[in-house]
Structure 1
Amino acid sequence: MNPLQFGNPASKNSTCGEWVLVRNRKNTMQSTYAQVVGQCPTCDYGSVDVSLGALSDLAPDLPFESMVFDDSSDTTIDDLMGADTPQPANSTPISPKDLLSVVWELSGPPKHTGTNQIDLPSGTRPTSTTSPTPTSTTEAPKPTSPSSPVFSGRATWYSDTSGFCEHPYSQSDMIVAVNEAQMGRVKDLCGKKILLTKEGSDVQVVVEVVDMCPSKYCKSGDLDLSQAAFKEFADLDVGELTLKWSFLDS
């Protein structure tokens, strides 16, 4: 599991040991159960790192077991596969990232219906994420932790490249300046992750707190986003949005 959604194993909010139901985004009938047994340090928010067995369940037509994976490669499955028939990929190294687009959700454990039978979605079998394997990009479920209050406010964008937290950043980074009322004059929130959502939209964006927006520009609940973060929701010409947001446990 990606670090943000894996959580702290010492807390009640960790997903360690939980089961997830993973589905192929293009064909949701191709799905599998997997148990969370570790953290994927290089995975982005919403991504999971699954075993080859799980990948085979999710896309049985793709020859994952014959592929050669190389972290330094930029070649993707799409580069190697034909439009209709998957081609063998046993000689060209391909990138282990973004192998499959999936959706997933936390689930109870698969139900046993007999001595060796498990009640699964059609065409699947249970799978555990037991070893480091290729990463799959996913659509993240919305966090609903009661320990993370949800705020709402006006979101604007700005053009600075340094600020209150005293380290440089780029406007292409997914970063945010929190209003002075909630940020305060101490740096306790610097580096915290915030989940942004827009009502009526499926888009969710995770940003890092790197700056403070003075009270004359931002009231309590307001955020000032990097241009890259703002553009995840709308064009810069829109100027401002109303977003809901909450801190993510780190």
Structure 2
Amino acid sequence: MAPIPRLAAKPLSIITGALFTAFSAPSSTPPTNGANATLPDTQYIGSASFLNLTLLHTPPLSSSSSSNSSSSSSSSSSPISSLVYYHSNNNTYTGCNQMPFSSTDNVVLMNPLQFGNASSSNSTCGNWIQVQNRQNTDLSTYAQIVGICDDCEYGSMDLSLGALNDLAPDLDFEDMTFSNSSDITISDLTDSDSTYSSSTTTISSDNLLDITWSLSDAPEPRNNPAPTSTTTSTTTSPTTTATPTPTPSSTPPPAEQFSGRGTWYSDTHGQCEHNYSQSDLIVAVNQDQMGTGKDMCGKKILMTMKGSNVQVIATVVDMCPKAYCKFGDLDLSQAAFKKFAGLGVGELTLQWSWL
């Protein structure tokens, strides 16, 4: 792996906090230290896209890859996106909090910044949120955070079909056909002068509804049951203990931060020994922090550019040799680099942390 020649350019802070004006209220500005941005008693503004779980199934694990598995559940489950697993044996899913749910439940994939660090106390994994339709404030629903929406902007999320139906019952989401390649929007369908029809048109699954939302207690069980309680018996009387739901601290500790140069490259195969695409959000870590083995392969990092509120989650797939990257430096895929600036910029000054 070797980076391609870069254009000589100073790091540019071309993406400013104005990018988030449409997504966040003045009280919900993203932090720049990598800490979780989702706080209790705070309302956030964003958009809701469609989380179509039935389209996220990956092929079942092969017999060769599952032959060494020690549990039947792991051999019948496949990882899909964002910390969620699909279990083919009973047609259910397991989220980041290891609790089962089905495709009819109200669940949400949260944007990376407001999901937080999945392995720390500042994660919103398993938390409930209350979501409100910004155009019709009488319509609201509850949803449980089960994973990360890697391509969602700050304030925004992917919502399951049930949650979307609660927020916009006049829209026939169940009869719509969605495609990530379509640029036809819900607004096109609802425009009185539009010639589109939801029954015959494939529409984009992105930004279906404008929403406001905040962290919430679990809803009443009759609509969307909270995680199951467990009962343990003693010699005197039974004791019921509810599964705790983590609540983010109002002052969460920041993750350890690194700083260095960010460049971009064009390889599609690296030290982790699998092929990938330059359209993926991936990164090669400097040799000092990556090493020459595979221990860091598949890990996630959270990156932000100096002078910008944009933050990106990327997966480690490769190592950048010392000849090109010193401690703290990162070599990004073109897709990851373009989240911050155009390729012609050449170099960025990045802050980042392990997730």
Within 5 Å, which residues of 2 pair with 1:162-181?
162-181=269-288
Matched with 1:185 is 292
Superposed displacement of residue 163, structure 1: 1.8
The one-letter code of the counterpart of 2:129 is: V
Matched with 2:140 is 32
Matches of 2:225 and 2:208, distance apart in 1: 15
SS at match of 2:335: helix
Matched with 1:92 is 200
Query: Percent sequence identity over matched residues?
Result: 44
Q: Residues 66 and 88 of structure 1 are in contact (CA less than 8 Å); yes or no, is this contact kept in structure 2?
A: no
Matches of 1:65 and 1:237, distance apart in 2: 43
Mark the runs of 5 or more structure 2 residues left unpaired by the alignment.
1-50, 52-80, 85-94, 100-118, 227-250
The one-letter code of the counterpart of 2:215 is: S
Q: What is the TM-score when the length of structure 2 is the normalising length?
A: 0.48
Q: Residues 22 and 105 of structure 1 are in contact (CA less than 8 Å); yes or no, is this contact kept in structure 2?
A: yes
The one-letter code of the counterpart of 1:7 is: C
Superposed displacement of residue 230, structure 1: 0.8
Q: Residues 34 and 54 of structure 1 are in contact (CA less than 8 Å); yes or no, is this contact kept in structure 2?
A: no
Matches of 2:338 and 2:218, distance apart in 1: 40
Matches of 2:254 and 2:192, distance apart in 1: 47
Q: Residues 284 and 330 of structure 2 are in contact (CA less than 8 Å); yes or no, is this contact kept in structure 1?
A: yes
Asked whether 1:20 is paired with 2:129, we answer yes
Q: Which moved more, 1:205-214 or 1:193-202?
A: 193-202
Q: 1:34 to 1:79 in 2, by over 3 A?
A: closer
Superposed displacement of residue 104, structure 1: 6.4
Matched with 2:248 is none
Superposed displacement of residue 95, structure 1: 5.3
Q: What is the TM-score when the length of structure 1 is the normalising length?
A: 0.65
Larger relative contact order (C-alpha < 8 A, sep ≥ 6)? Answer: 2
Superposed displacement of residue 168, structure 1: 2.1
Superposed displacement of residue 170, structure 1: 2.6
Matched with 2:31 is none
Matches of 1:94 and 1:87, distance apart in 2: 13
Q: Residues 19 and 33 of structure 1 are in contact (CA less than 8 Å); yes or no, is this contact kept in structure 2?
A: no
SS at match of 1:212: strand
Q: Residues 177 and 223 of structure 1 are in contact (CA less than 8 Å); yes or no, is this contact kept in structure 2?
A: yes
Matched with 2:327 is 220
- Residues 95-137 of structure 1 show CA distances to partners (whole Å, capped at 9, x for unaligned) of 583261556665132899xxxxxxxxxxxxxx7599xxxxxxx
Give the number of the structure whose alpha-carbon radius of gyration is greater. Answer: 2
Superposed displacement of residue 161, structure 1: 2.2
Asked whether 1:150 is paired with 2:257, we answer yes
Matches of 1:166 and 1:111, distance apart in 2: 45
SS at match of 1:36: strand
Q: Residues 180 and 213 of structure 1 are in contact (CA less than 8 Å); yes or no, is this contact kept in structure 2?
A: yes
- Residues 196-246 of structure 1 show CA distances to partners (whole Å, capped at 9, x for unaligned) of 222443322222111101122111111001122111111112111111222
Superposed displacement of residue 179, structure 1: 0.6
Matches of 2:180 and 2:348, distance apart in 1: 39
Matched with 1:9 is 98
Matches of 2:332 and 2:143, distance apart in 1: 35
The one-letter code of the counterpart of 1:9 is: Q
Matches of 1:72 and 1:162, distance apart in 2: 28
The one-letter code of the counterpart of 1:160 is: D
Matched with 2:304 is 197
The one-letter code of the counterpart of 1:109 is: D
Matched with 1:136 is none
The one-letter code of the counterpart of 2:339 is: E
Superposed displacement of residue 183, structure 1: 0.4
Q: Residues 179 and 205 of structure 2 are in contact (CA less than 8 Å); yes or no, is this contact kept in structure 1?
A: no
The one-letter code of the counterpart of 2:206 is: D
SS at match of 2:293: coil
Q: Residues 282 and 333 of structure 2 are in contact (CA less than 8 Å); yes or no, is this contact kept in structure 1?
A: yes
Matched with 1:234 is 341
Number of equivalenced pairs: 215
Aligned Cα RMSD in Å?
A: 4.2
Q: Which moved more, 1:176-185 or 1:151-160?
A: 151-160
